[in-house]
Amino acid sequence: MCFHVTAVPADHNRNGYKMPRASVVHVTTSVRRPRNMAQVWATLAVSMGSFAAGLAKGYTSPAIASLQEEHHNQTWPGFTVTKQQASWVASLSMLGAFFGAIIGGWILRRGRRLALLVTSLPLTASWVLTVVAPTVKLIYTTSLIGGLCCSIIMMVTQVYISEISTPGIRGCLSAVLKVVGHVGMLLTYIAGAYLNWRQSAMLVAVAPLMLFISALFIPETPSYLVLNGRDEEAARSLQWLRGPHVDISYELQIIKTNVSAARATQYGLTLSRSIRNPRLYKPIAITCGLMFFQRFSGANAFTFYAVTIFRQTLGGMNPHWAAIAIGIVQLLASLLSGFLIDIVGRLPLLIASTVFMSLALAGFGSFAYYDKVRLSHLTQVEVVPTGQYDWIPLLCVLVFTTALALGISPISWLLIGELFPLEYRGLGSSLSTSFSYACAFLGVKLFVDFQEDLGLHGAFWLYSAMAVCGLCFVVCCVPETKGKQLDEMNPDYAQAR
């Protein structure tokens, strides 16, 4: 608070009376609105983890194709893998992510920034070992370790951004993680068209090393520091995040009040009591429900089996370029979602996302059925048309990809950081994330079974039905969190919906 004194000269009224010389005190405030640049820099630093996870996710599809081709060089022996071995290479990363999510809550309680530093180096090492792997068994191991580290990093980065950001830009900053992840996925799609699996792994190994370096220059979150009794460090962290001239006393007091309430709530709690507490089980039900419908609505099928699916439905287009088109659309949709999440709100985007996903999946399944019937009626002398209707399945996939990237994919992860109270944030994030990766593991493995039992068309009709169920779940169970402080949202979920 600043006081500026201005002298007012003496004056005379109409009766000739001389007014005394006076001073006017102007009261101005030096309190400024929080600046967002430091939050943006911190987000970009931790987004290197999302970039590393995106590179790893996109690595699988071209790497499997490369692994199934024999490569020889003078440095490392060449070997090939069977279809069954390739499927384990893809799915073991999801199994590793499941175990990573289980222990992620324990690591999260040791510090958000420390968790990023601890997991980035093993992730780098796993990719280096992949580069020099002499047999597929070592790739199994590195895939498991890589998935474990990536799941921890993704969980920690989401919680980190939720705790450092102001409500007005929280959704936008959280969407940065998805955007950067899609950039990484697209880069490995493109690189996989020109590099073999060893060269691609060498490229991916750089990203977690960049995460380690960037995490050295960002502070721990104020909420974590206050929770662990480090108030002075929390004040310095919050001042760094909000700007050097911003008065942080009010926001810091809010954090301390919330932490005190969390400690009072947490005192004497056991796991059985925690699970029965609606402040925990209701957010778990919401986030796990969203994760279930996301994982079993075809997202994993297009991620891990894109080339195989396009080979069955596209007659003239190169399936690898179709996969790259998916990566480009995912990136553009994620860029758009970053603006829409905080403007439109979470709930409207979730509803629109599940509606368009169900329509696109139904359309894709219908085309697959029509194509199967059409080919079965062709005689031996008739020429199979190539590429005449390729735009139909490609359009369906692009609509599905856009709807997924605009709505349920980023928002389901965002809500993990938003819905849980501070005292349950580590446990709740761990349970929800582990459930998500368990669903992902099952989704990757069961797609082949669905296709064999129901046909390609039946599998996607099933996914469409799951998306419709997801729409009903969103309408009935998911609350709106747009523009709310984290402490504002927690009590609502103990009683509402």
List of domains in the chain: 34-218 (1.20.1250.20), 268-497 (1.20.1250.20)
CA distance linking residue 137 with residue 133, whole number of Å: 8
The model's pTM: 0.75
> Average pLDDT of the chain?
80
* Main-chain dihedrals φ then ψ at residue 27, nearest 5 degrees: -100, 120
Looking only at Cα atoms, what is the longest distance across the chain? Answer: 118
Q: How confident is the model at residue 168 (pLDDT cuts 50, 70, 90)?
A: confident
Residue 263: the pLDDT is: 65
Residue 142: the pLDDT is: 94
Q: Average the pLDDT over 160-164 and give the result.
A: 87
Q: How confident is the model at residue 23 (pLDDT cuts 50, 70, 90)?
A: very low
Comparing 212 with 430, the larger pLDDT belongs to 212
Residue 379: the pLDDT is: 52
Residue 75: the pLDDT is: 54
Comparing 323 with 141, the larger pLDDT belongs to 141
> Highest-confidence range of 158-167, 351-360, 486-495, by mean pLDDT?
351-360
Amino acid at site 398: L
CB 50 within 8 A of CB 178: yes
Count of other CB atoms within 10 angstroms of residue 219: 19
Q: Is pLDDT above 60 for 80?
A: yes
* Main-chain dihedrals φ then ψ at residue 345, nearest 5 degrees: 110, 160
Q: How confident is the model at residue 266 (pLDDT cuts 50, 70, 90)?
A: low
Residue 148: the pLDDT is: 93
Q: Average the pLDDT over 480-494 and give the result.
A: 55
Q: How confident is the model at residue 387 (pLDDT cuts 50, 70, 90)?
A: low
* Main-chain dihedrals φ then ψ at residue 410, nearest 5 degrees: -75, -35
Residue 1: the pLDDT is: 47
CB 415 within 8 A of CB 481: yes
Residue 496: the pLDDT is: 41
Q: Average the pLDDT over 470-490 and give the result.
A: 73
Residue 382: the pLDDT is: 53
Q: Is pLDDT above 60 for 105?
A: yes
- Give Cβ neighbours of residue 354 (< 8 Å, ≥ 6 apart): 293, 297, 403, 407, 408, 467, 468, 470, 471, 474
Q: Is pLDDT above 80 for 100?
A: yes
Q: How confident is the model at residue 232 (pLDDT cuts 50, 70, 90)?
A: confident
At 151, list the tokens.
Answer: 């799941």
Q: Is the dihedral of CA 221, 222, 223, 229 positive or negative?
A: positive
Least confident residue range of 135-144, 191-200, 383-392, 432-441: 383-392
Q: Is pLDDT above 70 for 315?
A: yes
DSSP-assigned beta bridge partners for residue 5: 25
Residue 262: the pLDDT is: 65
Residue 323: the pLDDT is: 83
At 76, list the tokens.
Answer: 């490392």
Comparing 371 with 153, the larger pLDDT belongs to 153
